[in-house]
Amino acid sequence: GENVEQHPSTLSVQEGDSAVIKCTYSDSASNYFPWYKQELGKRPQLIIDIRSNVGEKKDQRIAVTLNKTAKHFSLHITETQPEDSAVYFCAAFGGKTSYDKVIFGPGTSLSVIP
Amino acid sequence: DAGVIQSPRHEVTEMGQEVTLRCKPISGHDYLFWYRQTMMRGLELLIYFNNNVPIDDSGMPEDRFSAKMPNASFSTLKIQPSEPRDSAVYFCASSLQGNYFEAFFGQGTRLTVV
């Protein structure tokens, strides 16, 4: 089945710096790649997503890039703030083995140090 | 809509007891997912339903786990008998089919088996 890997598992940055989280997927037919943010003690929530027909998408301080050839995609957070501290999950969807189910990566715990 | 509603929010039970977790998906959503979250294993997909029909239960860890969806507005996840290693946060999520769709999570049930 689909396998999603995510790196790093933990990340600490100074407030104002950028943070980058990378994910790889195994099913070349996957065509939708969402990112979820989970604050401590809360539920995961979608923050941004990208479809296979585009290479980059931006929403204010966050952006996602996709390289379908290499089967990897990345989340970029610029000008990080303490409220960005959370666990971030990437996911792949729509492939031959995960046509209609969201398979999450293992997560990255981001800490933004004031 | 109030979103995905799970109950109870917290459950403490003794080993060997039966545990039932409940979920009410968002009205109109046709997919329902049960996830288990632990520090060691992240977000694991246990089972998911489409139009009340179980599609993939390959993530259910053992026969002690079972899930039902008797109608479009209710699902249960049952563990019988429960064991300490079942302690985790269990999330229910629902979504609406399309080429790409967002999974909306409930608040989760924190299960502790002592």
* Average pLDDT estimate for A13-19: 98
* Average pLDDT estimate for A14-18: 98
Task: Tell me the pLDDT tens digit for each residue of A61-91.
Answer: 999 999 999 999 999 999 999 999 999 999 9
Per-residue confidence (pLDDT) for residue B98, from 0 to 100:
59
β-strands B109-113, B104-105: how paired?
Answer: unpaired
Chain A interface mutation, best of B39, B45, B101, highest count of A Cβ atoms under 10 Å: B101
Max Cα-Cα span within chain B: 43
Task: Tell me the pLDDT tens digit for each residue of B80-109.
Answer: 999 999 999 999 999 887 545 688 999 999
- For A43, the closest of B56, B91, B100 (CB atoms) is B91
Per-residue confidence (pLDDT) for residue A93, from 0 to 100:
81
